[in-house]
Structure 1
Amino acid sequence: MRDRLIRLLRHCWLDEDDARRALGPVALERIEQRVRASEAAHSGEIRVCVEAGLPLGYLWRNVDAHDRALSLFGKLRVWDTEHNNGVLIYLLLADHRIEIVADRGLTRHVDAAGWQAIVDGMGAAFRERRFEDGLHAAIDAVDAVLREHFPAAPGGGNPNELPDTPVLR
């Protein structure tokens, strides 16, 4: 009970302004540019979401970062790509958690251990509060996976199916 109360307070203490402080406007622009450049080389879609704390209803139900990332995967329509190759990179500041959720087109090629390796690579940067560096590393790692399994068709069009702008909550 005590741990749950501490978690509740930690999440209620943080808000979207904390996410904006963790990643300022210049960093957000660089992340957006990196996603856009990545998506020019493959048919996948990358979404980045940084959430300071969970909404009260999620806390009440004791939802963890993974379940929240799955929920946002749907809400942000990351699943809604032509080749089922969208990826959500999710950072929950209050719990110090990182989640990567990939659509079914990618899970055929990359198992949970492969995604966990990317998360582990981000962890060191996040522990040092270098959020932009960690997100750049994650985008680059996801980019490599998407280039390998879903390269852009030579000379073909590559529509941008989802916004490239990071989501702050």
Structure 2
Amino acid sequence: MNTLARWARHIWLDAADTRRLLGAAGLQRLEQAVRDSEARHMGELRVCVEAGLSAGALWRGISSRARAIELFSQLRVWDTEHNNGVLIYLLLAERRIEILADRGLHIRTDSAVWHGITQQLSASLQSGQYEAGLTQAITAVSELLRQHFPLSGRPNPNELPDAVVLI
């Protein structure tokens, strides 16, 4: 994508567009899906939807992957007891999806699994089914976490907020 077209796509969108896209009820349902997911395993899940990158990020040529890595740190997804946090990140301006798993889950999961979840979410987004696609991705990640980090009878504190982050 050329630089001018990229800037135009990012500057045009903001968090209000994301709120309209998902709606208040949809955001509540997604938050509940995260909460329900985390009640079935010892992992932590964050969902972040960013409308467009800032002018500074665009100037520096930040990719969606690099931005997801920044947010992985900023949202403290890496800071869980079992190193099993997962970030599902959407960059709407570029229709890019990044799913990042902390090292505890990453080493146990083949890259083809992450690719499959990303492809499924991408297909839902292309057909305009944002909430349904994110819900499916949450469910798929939840199953991986349940498989590799099942509830163990120990306390299962909620280490990270469940709300969808809108930027």
TM-score (norm 2): 0.98
Give 1:68 shift: 0.5
Distance in 2, matches of 1:128 and 1:108, equals 32
Partner residue in 2 for 1:164: 162
Match of 2:147 in 1: 148
Q: What residue is the counterpart of 1:119 in the other structure?
A: 118
Structure 2, unmatched stretches of 5+, are none
- How many residues align? The count is 167
1:56 Cα shift?
1.1
Query: Residue type matched to 1:64 in 2?
Result: S
Distance in 1 separating the partners of 2:111 and 2:72 = 16
Question: CA offsets per residue over residues 105-164 of structure 1, 9 Å max, x none?
Answer: 01111132221110001111100111000000000000000000000113x210000000
Secondary structure of 1:23's counterpart equals helix
Deviations, residues 31-56 of structure 1 (Å, cap 9, x unaligned): 00010011011110000000000111
Question: What is the identity, as a one-letter code, of the residue corresponding to 2:95?
Answer: H
Map 1:39-54; keep pairs closer than 5 Å.
39-54=38-53
Unpaired segments ≥5 residues, structure 1: none
2:75 aligned residue: 76
Instruction: Find the aligned partners of 1:55 and 1:4 in 2 and give their Cα distance.
Output: 14
Give the TM-score normalised by the residue count of structure 1: 0.96
Map 1:1-169 to 2 at 5 A. 3-154=2-153, 156-169=154-167
